[in-house]
Structure 1
Amino acid sequence: MKKYLYLALILTACNQVPQETTSVIVDVPPSEWVKNATIYEVNVRQYTPEGTFAAFEQRLPKLKELGVDILWFMPIQPIGKKNRKAVGDTFVQDLENPDYDKYWGSPYSISDYKAVNPKYGEVADFKRIIKKCHEMDIKVILDWVGNHTAWDNEWVVNNPEWYTHDSTNRITDPIGEDGKSWGWTDVADLNYDSKEMRTEMIASMKFWIEECDLDGFRCDVAMEVPTNFWNEARVALDSVKPIFMLAESETHKPDQFQSAFDAYYGWEMHHIMNEIYKGTESPAKVIEVMNTKDSINGTKAFPMNFITNHDENSWNGTIEERMAESWKAMAVLSYSLRGMPLIYSGQEAGLNHRLSFFGKDEVNWDAEKASDYFSFYQRLNELKADSSFAVDAPISFDEEYENKDFLIINRGIKNEYRIIINLSKNNWQVIGHDIGLVNGYDIVQSDSLQDGGILEAWGYIILKKI
């Protein structure tokens, strides 16, 4: 049965008319197919017990059913053995019994840009997956690690001048502006002063487009690579086919979003979500962060919004550890804001443990309530497909001064959708008599909305104009 809301939020005895702030979208992304897309991060190693392309391929129909539009594959290339990490900062080679089959190493330590990790399969397997994805109307992008390579990449031996050297002329791992190591001691830092290295890097990226019909790249620590390189690469890659470029960067280098990249990581927004759950930030901070990013990066570029990813899951905790009972509200928020929502491998099955970063692990696809999680994200993906949630569709916020616990988001040219999220541990009355804010809307989805119009802690209501 349909429910209708005919009332403004009645949050206190005093009713105030909310003020509205609007973000005006002035431009659109170059790739039309990303406008309403949900992106899905594929961790091939941990996706199945086998950890292979062939095993992953069997789950493609399920991803189509889920309703995702873009698959982002974490790096699929061979991983270096020299200085491969086992646990923490310990190298496999320093163990009493080095076991390179047990410790697969970081996928971001690449020994050959134009090959596939033999544990996964072959280039032909990846090419076949992309072909099947395209037949399902799903695009595929690849994680690109342009800042550093494995220590046993052939470039280290054949072209040591392509790397950063210290005062003793030794190749270094990535070093921060303070002169201190980042701790990424399993990789060697590339030097973009080398024109020859730049040329070869672009050639390596083009290989995957020309050979496999790849649709774009997610670029690791993009802010650590010069913008003029990314600009050069984008022109060269687009000459093969129009592609989508996602930067693991935010407002570090706004000029990266003038022509090189279409989208950026919503890191700060993600951290704000975590802080809101802990009670150290207010919902109003969401509006502030979005407006700040738009003012710096412009609105041609858009954020990738998320409640988890491979880094967060492995290093900072599961969704349950960080967000607990607020997870649904935060997921709805990630879909409601301007940008592209992300689903990480296993998130749609309620992934509830930290997947190993260096070793072999696997997602439990038969976890308790896995089907409920799947249905939840499936419904959100159906909602995201509506033009009102496109990255260039208008977004505005109704700010209720008498209560700071609610975030009220309007989407669409004529506010076709309204999303009300209770970002607090409090229960609030949201339905009363005919006074206006949500008058004439139909409830599309809701959670924790009780009889009598009480929206419980971390509840939400998604409405559509009648």
Structure 2
Amino acid sequence: MADKTWWKNAVGYQVYPRSFKDTNDDGVGDIRGIIEKLPYLKDLGVDFIWVNPIYKSPNVDNGYDISDYESIEPEFGTMDDFKELLSKAHALDIKIILDLVVNHTSDQHPWFLESKKGKDNPYRDYYLWADATEDKMPNDWKSFSGHSAWTYDKNSGQAYFHVFAAQQPDLNWKNPKVRQAIYKMIRWWLDLGIDGFRMDAISHIQKEPWDFKIKDNPWAPFMNVKGIDKYMTELRDIFNEYSVMTVGEASGVTSRKAINWTDPNRDGYINMIFQLEQNVQVGKPGEQRIQPLGFKKVLARWQRDLADGGWNALYVENHDNPRINTVLGNQTKQSAKAIAATYMLLRGTPFIYQGQELGMTNYPFTKPDQMDGLDMDIFKQIEQSGHSKEETMKIMSHWSRDNARTPMQWDDSKFAGFSDKTPWLAVNDNHQTINVEAEIQDSDSILNFYKKLIALRKSEKAFSDGSFELILDNDPSVFSYLRKDSEQTFLIISNLGEKSRNVTLPEKIVKHNWQVVLTNDETLQINKNLQVAPFAVTVFKKIN
């Protein structure tokens, strides 16, 4: 019988296909590029790959606007390529999970093309339409872009609803026909042999009535709204038929509510949740950093609130956020290692985003045409508010998701071994030193530290099954905690700040003897009064 909780002791790796590896020299990564690099991922020690959308799409939102759920976007390859990826990954004992994007489709999806033909079309109710005029939308709700969540259709005198771009109309989950079509598609992929889904924007599929009045949160009308449990229960029942992993991008689901989403003993819907709270920013626009204390408090709260049966998805980078070694670290080996050990030894399933294991950093964007996701309207607004072009560029680019989407840095060649042709996004100049080929050879590299960290996590049950206890709760930059099971106790001490910290360890720590099992600072030893260097991390094992 297949192990239905295999993911509890697994480490995942997120691949953004467009930027991972190009094998046909069109400047865009592809499925065959993932196939080519499977041995690298196996050597790293990962157990599953989350592949960002590869479905057929007009690419208004880089694949998150799907026009055919059961076809592969040609620039990524073919369905045969995908089947080969699945087969070769499985042969290496690596599982594959895909994005499940079912809050919305592309406006080029056949369902929406039919829906738009008129009120009497049988697909009209597959989407959310309401009476409107060109000057008056059904309500004043805003999409995540800050613009109206409605787009007017003059042919029918109605508007359709979308929480993202106008080219991404939201599906009507209240319609049983929509749900059955989605469930049929889900089973199609699961029957093909994939190992699970990362569920995009899943907490938005239920909406409040159109007359709902917003009080403070502008997105409250479509964030974990009452009634979503019906749909999530139906999804859960399908997933439970298969030994698959499910992780939800579920904004609006608090740490206290998350246990009801993720604990099977409470009839939870999915295995784990990506929470969106931990990137606590401080600083003026263009210079924001993640605040270590806020980062620690959020992660510790999620650890505590999910301790009794729920489960965490652990991450510090993804395709929508800047590089962690820039916005929390100081772009050095030291900070990349400290961040890695701090989050990867928490209770939950760790995800590594491509290039994170190398310490890849933000790209020094200087011109708007270097960026793919730049909103020129916002650029002009910032510039007109009194900022120079250079200042505006800094404000726009510093927290941009394009920082995570620059090509993977495989070697020090012109295009970093990603492609032989000019890539769709520019390669960071620091690829000459930060790249896979160089780091494999360097025993002290970030990449080799990740390999040791992954091996440590897998070798000790305390990290997958043990309890979590925060130490030094209120220290502004030291993140220290215990992981403990019936056999072993581990202590992690990490300074995520740019200054040394003097800390006083509690007696229950000091009275025991500890052995260093992994560190980026050979000087750190357990004493009552301890000085922790900037971005130093040490993992200790209790020996008596």
Q: TM-score, normalised to structure 2's length?
A: 0.66
Asked if 2 retains the 8 angstrom alpha-carbon contact of 1:273 and 1:330, the reply is no
Q: Report what 2:96 is aligned to.
A: 140
Relative to structure 1, is the Cα distance of residues 397 and 290 closer, same or farther in structure 2, using a 3 angstrom cutoff?
A: closer
Mapping for residues 155-234 of structure 1, pairs under 5 Å: 155-158=111-114, 159-168=123-132, 176=143, 180-181=148-149, 182-211=163-192, 213-225=193-205, 226-234=228-236
CA-CA distance at 1:175 after TM superposition: 5.5
**Correspondence 1:356-375 to 2 at 5 A:** 362-366=407-411, 367=431, 368-370=433-435, 371=439, 372-375=445-448
| Structure 1 residue 168, shift from structure 2 partner | 3.3
- 2:329 matched to 1:256? no
In structure 2, list runs of 5 or more residues that go unmatched. Answer: 24-28, 115-122, 150-162, 206-227, 364-369, 374-401, 412-430, 440-444
Contact map agreement 1:37 1:384 (CA 8 A) in 2:
no
1:344 to 335, 338, 353: 353
Query: Larger deviation: 259-268 or 283-292?
Result: 283-292
One-letter amino acid of the counterpart of residue 483, structure 2: R
User: Higher relative CO (CA 8 A, sep ≥ 6), structure 1 or 2?
Assistant: 1
Residues paired across the two proteins, number: 404
**Residues of 2 paired with 1:148 and 1:392: CA distance?**
36
In the aligned structure 2, how far is the partner of 1:248 from the partner of 1:457?
A: 32
Secondary structure of the structure 2 residue equivalent to 1:189 = coil
Q: Aligned with 2:326: secondary structure?
A: helix
Aligned partners of 1:144 and 1:218 also within 8 Å: yes
Q: Distance in 2 between matches of 1:176 and 1:46?
A: 27
Give the alignment partner of residue 540 of structure 2, picking from 432, 456, 463. 463
How do 1:280-299 and structure 2 match up within 5 A? 281=291, 283=293, 286-287=296-297, 289-291=299-301, 294-295=304-305, 299=308
Secondary structure of 2:69's aligned partner:
coil
State how far apart, in whole Å, the 2-side matches of 1:175 and 1:400 are: 38
Deviation at 1:150, TM superposition (A): 0.6
CA distances 1:274-321 after superposition (whole Å, capped 9, x unpaired): 99x9788564862565335753x6643322222210000xxxx32243
Percent of aligned pairs with the same amino acid: 23
Name the residue aligned to 1:413: 485
Larger mean CA deviation between 387-396 and 56-65 belongs to 387-396
* Alpha-carbon contact 2:67-2:109 (below 8 Å) kept: yes
- Work out whether residues 155 and 162 of structure 1, in 8 Å CA contact, stay in contact via their aligned partners in 2: yes
1:236 is matched with which residue? 238
CA pair 274-107 structure 1, distance change in 2 beyond 3 A: farther
Return the match for 2:87 from 115, 131, 141.
Answer: 131
Give the C-alpha shift of residue 169 in structure 1.
9.4
Q: 1:357 to 1:395 in 2, by over 3 A?
A: farther
C-alpha distance in 2 between matches for 1:70 and 1:273: 34
SS class of match (2:238): helix
Distance 1:136 1:169, change over 3 A: farther
Distance in 2, matches of 1:204 and 1:280, equals 39
Q: Distance in 2 between matches of 1:274 and 1:236?
A: 45
SS in structure 2 opposite 1:114?
strand
Show the counterpart of 1:42: 15
1:417, 1:465 within 8 Å by CA — same for their partners in 2? yes
Structure 1: runs of 5 or more not aligned? 1-29, 86-104
Q: Aligned-residue CA RMSD in angstroms?
A: 3.5
Pair 1:439-2:512 in alignment: yes
Shift of 1:163: 0.5
1:122 is matched with which residue?
Answer: 78
In 2, distance between residues paired with 1:424 and 1:108?
36
Deviations 1:97-116 (A, max 9, x none): xxxxxxxx521010000111
Q: Which moved more, 1:131-140 or 1:357-366?
A: 357-366
Secondary structure, in 3 states, of the residue corresponding to 1:200? helix
Q: Name which of 39, 52, 61 aligns with 2:30.
A: 52
Residue 345 to residue 388, structure 1, CA distance change in 2 (3 Å): same
Residue 351 and residue 117 in structure 1: after superposition, are their counterparts in 2 closer, same or farther (change >3 A)?
A: same
Letter in 2 for 1:233: L
1:349–1:428 Cα change, 3 Å: closer
Equivalent in 330, 345, 349 of residue 339 of structure 2: 330
1:99 is matched with none
SS in 1 for 2:189: helix
| One-letter amino acid matched to 2:170 | D
Task: Using the TM superposition, name which of 323-332 and 215-224 deviates more.
Answer: 323-332
Residues 386-424 of structure 1 show CA distances to partners (whole Å, capped at 9, x for unaligned) of 3445444211123377x6543321112155211111233
